[in-house]
């Protein structure tokens, strides 16, 4: 009996724990869907009714690499962890053409909801391509087609034809990528009307609808043969002018040459015979200053030969008064 009672008690406790934990769990998000247009992948979901006022959400994904190489692990979407919004941009996280599993859960304080997964794996090749926006302009004898609002991984097929010649073999088909935007097509016929239409594509199975046909008239410099013809005419005209000038110079009579090629007369100032006069320049007298000489007597000469302190004083007094001032002894 004791064993039965203990067994029933343990089962009752287990059931109570499960019921309690489930009561405290948040309801999972619902209505999970993926909207992918022009390679922009946006995951959306709806809120469950919950007494919790502030619910936050986290998103994870699992691709082929995580499933096979990383043993089925899940990766967090960096920009969609503990957010309050009900959408998540996965454009940069889904970086390959493999299938991805995606799941979302809700949190409120310590309460966490179970993970809710997307109904089926998503592949970015399932994106919907819209009709590309194009602008067609003329530049001389060329066309320029500009594209707007297309991602880098999307290619564009451009079809160009002359009006009335849209048949196989006569229409020009150009396939470009967005990196080549804008598309430049030159050497078109002047006066003709050309039509353009475009279609976005990822591969042979994913294409957008074609744009409306846009037709423009070419009013450029003309067909390509006109340029070399114009250059040839200009060269012939210049050669004729050079030939005429050389012939006229070699076959010109002297009197005719003098009549057509007259020399400018010399100025009258150069024709007059002006008298020449010589101008003699006398050098100026040099500046002279008087020098006063002092003659010493015989006793003074003897004094100059005898060194003494009195003689030094007397010599210094003479030097201080100046050399140009005479004095008598």
Rounded average pLDDT over 297-317: 55
Query: Regarding predicted confidence, which is higher, 32 or 266?
Result: 32
Query: Is residue 1 scored above 60 in pLDDT?
Result: no
Average pLDDT value for residue range 225-244: 80
The reported pLDDT for the residue numbered 171 is 65
Most distant CA atoms of the chain, gap in Å: 168
In what side-by-side order are the strands of the sheet with 183-185? 133-139, 142-148, 183-185
- Mean of the pLDDT values across residues 53-79? 93
pLDDT of residue 156: 87
Q: How far apart are CA 29 and CA 23, in angstroms?
A: 16
Most confident of 64-73, 184-193, 301-310: 64-73
- The mean pLDDT value of the chain amounts to 77
- Alpha-carbon 235 to chain mean position: 42
How far apart (Å, rounded) are the C-alpha atoms in residues 116 and 35?
17
Provide the token pair at 32: 């999970």
pLDDT tens string 23-57: 457 889 999 999 999 999 999 999 877 778 789 99
pLDDT at 23: 45
What pLDDT digit, counting tens, does each position of 98-128 carry?
999 999 999 998 899 999 999 999 999 899 9
Q: pTM, whole model, 2 decimals?
A: 0.56
3-state secondary structure 40-93: EEEEEEECCCCCCCCCEEEEEEECHHHHHCCCCCCEECHHHCCECCCEEECCCC
């Amino acid at each position: 009996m004791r064993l039965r009672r203990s067994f029933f008690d343990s089962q009752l406790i287990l059931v109570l724990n499960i019921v309690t934990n489930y009561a405290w769990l948040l309801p999972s998000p619902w209505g999970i869907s993926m909207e992918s247009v022009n390679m922009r992948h946006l995951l959306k979901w709806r809120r469950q009714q919950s007494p919790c006022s502030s619910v936050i959400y986290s998103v994870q994904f699992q691709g082929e690499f995580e499933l096979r190489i990383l043993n089925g692990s899940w990766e967090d979407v960096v920009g969609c962890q503990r957010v309050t919004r009900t959408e998540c941009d996965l454009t940069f996280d889904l970086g390959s053409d493999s299938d991805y599993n995606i799941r979302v859960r809700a949190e409120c304080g310590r309460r966490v909801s179970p993970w809710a997964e997307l109904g089926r794996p998503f592949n970015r090749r399932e994106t919907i391509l819209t009709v590309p926006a194009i602008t067609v302009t003329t530049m001389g004898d060329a066309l320029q087609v500009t594209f707007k609002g297309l991602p880098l991984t999307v290619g564009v097929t451009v079809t160009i034809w002359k009006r009335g010649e849209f048949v196989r073999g006569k229409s020009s088909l150009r396939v470009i990528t967005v990196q080549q935007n804008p598309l430049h097509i030159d050497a078109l016929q002047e006066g003709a009307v050309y039509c353009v239409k475009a279609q976005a594509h990822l591969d042979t199975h994913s294409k957008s609808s074609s744009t409306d046909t846009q037709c423009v008239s070419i009013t450029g410099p003309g067909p390509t043969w006109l340029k070399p013809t114009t250059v040839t005419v200009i060269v012939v005209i210049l050669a004729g002018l050079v030939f005429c000038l050389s012939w006229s110079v070699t076959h010109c009579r002297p009197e005719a040459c003098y009549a057509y090629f007259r020399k400018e007369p010399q100025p009258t100032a150069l024709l007059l015979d002006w008298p020449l006069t010589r101008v003699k320049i006398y050098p100026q007298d040099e500046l002279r200053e008087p020098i006063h000489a002092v003659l010493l007597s015989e006793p003074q000469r003897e004094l100059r030969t005898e060194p003494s302190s009195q003689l030094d004083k007397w010599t210094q007094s003479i030097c201080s008064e100046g050399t140009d001032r005479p004095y008598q002894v």
